[in-house]
Structure 1
Amino acid sequence: MMKEKEYERRRKKLGKKLEDSSVAVFFSASYKVRSNDTEYPFRQESNFYYLTGFTEDSAALVLVKEKKKVKSYLFVEKRDKEKEMWSGKRLGKEGAKKCFRVDEVFEYETLNTKLKAFLDAKKSLYYDFKLDYSKIKILKRYSKNITTIKNAAKLVEKMRLIKSASEIKLIKKAIAITKEAHHRAMRLSKELKYEYELQAEIEYVFKKNGAYSDAYTSIVACGESANTLHYISNNKRLKNKELILIDAGCEFEYYASDITRTIPVNATFTQPQKELYEMVLSVEKKIIAMIKPNILRSELQKKSEEMLCEGMIRLGILKGSKKKLLKEQAHKKYYPHGIGHWMGLDVHDQAPYKNENGKEIPLKKGMVMTIEPGIYCPKDDTTIPKKYRGIGIRIEDDILVTKEGYENLSQEILKEIKDIESLSL
């Protein structure tokens, strides 16, 4: 768990970015109704957590900047013995004062009154534009003298691009747990009957090792199911001689992992599966090797498309010249997605890809991104060789940009054919 000093440093860094005579407001997440009077498990709003480390609902963080000085105020729900009997203990005002390095802690029910005072005679208001209308309405009620309203989320999300040593440590822990889960899946795939059984084994490992939850709904897609990119039904039979695309990663102390491996049901790849798999794996390795500071994500995307297109021509999936096929984007039919995305507090980390001027942000030391080329050959596509139809393959790793290159944080998760087959036997 990160120390409170790190959250304090983040608040101070954000404070420097705020205009003078301004107020910035961040709200916690709220419980979401699942069905009637039951709720989904609570998960804190990422930007709020990034600035506070506070994991309760009914909370808010307010930064007030005046004469270049910034003060921070945390609002928390007051303790209520009856509520706590049903829903668990709360820190309350006094408990929060002991835990968090803020200027003052108030009870959440005083937020409206305090906001009115904070916003009085201020010029600028910052808040997350994605807020629900009820919270925006509260803010605007007290901001009649405000001349500038800005999106606070954009400032925080830009900060989140570069991971600290503490954040990288948590991501590595999440990946270590996910490694155990994927290796368990490789060992058990031939023994189970349904996709959901394999999903249960994977998520058992997550929970057993203290992960908060999966970082996203696990994809366990056998055979043709793998050609649906966001397949989450996970209810089909595991059929002999078919591949299983497993896209699954846990979240550990709010930090995500995101790993995809494609494995055979019966522990052995067929020859056509090997041909497609080796093509995708070769592209993944070459793209990862390109990663270093100042390279653009678009360069990685372009190169991955060129190499996959070449591979598809070589295997007879596409026919014609590479130049013409790329221009027509014929390869997109079988590789429709991006080469990767930022990863951190969110599995698709809410951080920008372009700067304020619309220019692409180059890779920098401390950024974490996924690399995940794939190929998807639908069963009903009669234009491709019959032996490849119904096969979907994606291979995904989590990569840290370093001072001179990269570190593959998930390199210990098996992906060579011989290693997967050996573990599965």
Structure 2
Amino acid sequence: MTDTTIAAEPAEGAIESAERANAVQAGGTGAFRRRRERFMEGIGDGVAVLAAAPELVKSRDTDVMYRQNSDFFYLTGFLEPGAVAVLTPHDAGHRFTLFVRPRDPERETWNGRRAGVEGARARFGADAAYDVAELDERLKGLVEPADALWYGVRADGGAMDARMLKLLAGFRGTRPRAGKGPWDLRDPAQLLDRMRLIKEPGELALMREAAELAARGHLAAMRAGRPGVGEWEVQALLDQTFRAHSATSGTSFPAIVGSAANATILHYVTNDRRIEEGDLVLVDAGADVGFYCSDITRVFPASGRFTAPQRAVYDVVLRALRAAVAAVRPGAPVTDVHEAARRELVQGMIDLKLLEGEPEKLIEDETFKRFFMHNTSHWLGLDVHDAGPYREPDGTPLPLQPGMVLTVEPGLYVPEDAENVPAELRGIGIRLEDDVLVTEDGHEVLTRGVPVDPDEIERICAR
């Protein structure tokens, strides 16, 4: 570290926050039970099998930090690896069955406590629970009465995918004579993606907390990201701010801290450059609280004031952000958000002399993608790019509904080697991103805790 070393202060109320998040994750069995019931209504006479996320090895015997599969968590609240959930609507004694790792004092000494079979029933509301070693023995009987098997084949499914395909193939051979067993394999995402789109009050409470925490981290970055500080030090400050909040908090994705021309790289995560005088610094970072994500992008001048060219580009993107946020309202097609941002950005590109021509023609020909190449929004929730379709099966854009949460993130990126553009704009990258909830009468910006007005940002940097 240099003499510009920066540090975060622990957040007030950190313990209380951790308790709330833990209550939602492990103890809030009512919310998970209601979701399971809704899901089982959707699968009718089918049976659903969901597997926990696999454990991943970073190198040799060092594991990647474990994170539960979002769909599995959404329906069960169970956080351990090696588990399988079976949802059987037709069997009252096994509507929700969990196969889990058994208690093992020796392994728990090394790797932490397990819920075990007893905990799966008592703490997670399973109607029945078994040692996962019994999965092959019991699975056929649970699935046999179903007309359809709901299981999502995954790229990392491995042995579990093979097990389920073998099971289905076996039923294909015996069903003509026995009259039992599923014919169809269906993806649970057909139902879960739609369910996860509409956030429940408990989910929104955690998302508001994650947005507030992310705003706190961005404010800290603005105050600390001065010339001489490394991008990596700003990243460390974000990590520390989030983790200081509570034991259950962290980053929702690897933070982007791009100074100068690094800000024109959309997913820049190297974060190894030292910030210099006159640089803009783009920070794209979010917090995770109780498994729920936030995602904010802000840009600030390391030296405390925007230059005239920097401010000109910033103002274009800010107009696009405000226009796009204004388009978020119930009943509006989700594509309206992108179209509103795109109109402002294309006109701004013309004003800045980055492009020439009529806006409609530049949009039709997608000429603007030279400087704005991504969509303006994505769903937000348990995942940063959360589950949910953007179009109906007939291709029409999905209408926004109350309870949906999406990002709004227009940007304008001028590569430092761009040709036929004003020299003073080269190497400037601006992206501004807020998290927006669709409400009954419009929208709520969850991330208002960190300013976007450039004059206010200059005041924060000056402090």
TM-score by length of 1: 0.97
Question: Could you tell me which residue of structure 2 aligns to residue 209 of structure 1?
Answer: 245
Moved more, 381-390 or 323-332: 323-332
Aligned residue in 2 for 1:222: 259
Q: Judge conservation of contact 1:293–1:402 (CA < 8 Å) in 2.
A: yes
1:90 aligns with 2:127: no
CA contact (8 A) 2:232 2:257 kept: yes
Q: 1:360: Cα distance to partner? A: 2.3
Does residue 158 of structure 2 align to residue 133 of structure 1?
yes
- Equivalenced residue count is 424
C-alpha deviation, 1:398, in angstroms: 0.1
Q: Which runs of 5+ in 2 are unaligned?
A: 1-22, 172-181
Q: In 2, distance between residues paired with 1:113 and 1:125?
A: 17
Q: Determine if the alignment matches structure 1 residue 59 to structure 2 residue 83.
A: yes
Equivalent residue, structure 1, for 2:177: none
Cα offset, 1:156, TM superposition:
1.1
SS for the counterpart of 1:221 is strand
Deviation digits for residues 346-381 of structure 1, max 9, x if unmatched?
000022212344432110000000000000001111
The aligned residue for residue 163 of structure 1 is 199
String of CA shifts for 1:242-299, please: whole Å, max 9, x gaps: 1011000111110000000011111111111111101111110121012101111212
Q: What residue identity is the alignment partner of 1:374? A: G
3-state SS of paired residue (2:407): strand
What is the identity, as a one-letter code, of the residue corresponding to 2:208? K
Q: Structure 1 CA distance, aligned partners of 2:145 and 2:200?
A: 36
Give the root-mean-square deviation of aligned CA atoms.
1.5
Whether contact under 8 Å (1:129, 1:153) holds in the other structure is: no
Q: Secondary structure at the match of 1:251?
A: strand
Q: Does 1:279 align with 2:293?
A: no
**Kindly, what percent of the aligned residue pairs are identical?**
34
Provide Cα deviations, 1:111-152, integer angstroms capped at 9, x if missing partner.
111101112243210011225131111112323222111001
- Structure 1 window deviating more from structure 2 (91-100 vs 256-265): it is 91-100
Structure 1: 5+ residue stretches without partners: none
| Residue range with higher mean Cα deviation, 92-101 or 10-19 | 92-101
User: After the TM superposition, which parts of structure 1 deviate over 6 Å for at least 4 consecutive aligned residues?
Assistant: 67-70
**Are 1:4 and 2:41 an aligned pair?**
no
Retained in 1: the 8 A contact 2:242–2:287?
yes
- Per-residue CA deviation, residues 212-242 of structure 1 (Å, 9 max, x unaligned), is 3211111000011111101100001201101
Task: Identify the match of residue 349 of structure 1 among 368, 386, 397.
Answer: 386
Task: State the match for 2:10 in structure 1.
Answer: none
Matched, 1:153 2:189: yes
- SS of residue matched to 1:285: helix
Separation in structure 2 between the aligned mates of residue 241 and residue 401 of structure 1, nearest angstrom: 38
The residue type paired with residue 225 of structure 2 is: S
Contact 2:227–2:275 under 8 Å retained in 1: no
Matches within 5 A, 1:18-33: 18-20=43-45, 22-33=46-57
SS in structure 2 at match of 1:365: coil
Check the 8 A contact 1:255/1:344 in 2, yes or no. yes
Deviates more, 1:399-408 or 1:233-242: 233-242
Q: 1:323 to 1:248 in 2, by over 3 A?
A: same
> Structure 2: which amino acid aligns with 1:373?
P
Partner residue, 2:174:
none
Taking the aligned partners of 2:277 and 2:340, their CA distance within structure 1 comes to 35
Partner of 2:398: 361
Letter paired with 1:213: G
Q: What are the Cα deviations for residues 28-74 of structure 1, in whole angstroms up to 9, with x where unaligned?
A: 11211111111110000000000011111111110113289981111
C-alpha separation in 2, matches of 1:293 and 1:70: 39
C-alpha displacement of 1:96: 2.0
* Matched residue, 1:99: 123
Greater shift, 125-134 or 71-80, is seen at 125-134
User: Equivalents in 2 of 1:142, 1:190: separation in Å?
Assistant: 60
Amino acid at match of 1:119: V
**C-alpha separation in 2, matches of 1:273 and 1:69:** 65
Q: How far apart are 1:323 and its partner, in Å?
A: 2.3
> CA 1:68–1:334 in 2, change beyond 3 Å: closer, same or farther?
farther
Asked if the contact 1:377/1:388 (under 8 Å) is kept, the reply is: yes
Shift of 1:326: 1.8
For the residue of structure 1 that corresponds to 2:95, the secondary structure is: strand
Question: Is the 2:216–2:449 contact (alpha carbons within 8 Å) kept by the matching residues of 1?
Answer: no
Q: Deviations over 1:69-102 (max 9, x none)?
A: 9811111110111100100111111122211222
Distance 1:60 1:203 in 2: 32
Equivalent position SS for 2:89: strand
Q: Between 157-166 and 128-137, report the one with greater CA deviation.
A: 128-137
Larger mean CA deviation between 236-245 and 299-308 belongs to: 299-308
In the alignment, is the contact (CA less than 8 A) between 1:15 and 1:70 conserved in 2?
Answer: no
Cα pair 2:297 2:431 within 8 Å, conserved: yes
Contact map agreement 2:93 2:127 (CA 8 A) in 1: no
The answer (yes or no) to whether the contact 2:83–2:100 under 8 Å persists in 1 is yes
Deviations 1:294-323 (CA, angstroms, capped at 9, x unpaired): 111212212211111111111111112222
What's the offset of the Cα at 1:167? Answer: 0.3
Contact (CA 8 Å) 2:411, 2:432: kept in 1 or not?
A: yes
TM-score by length of 2: 0.89
Please tell me the residue identity of whatever aligns with 1:183.
L
Secondary structure (helix, strand or coil) at the match of 2:208 reads helix
3-state SS of paired residue (2:266): coil
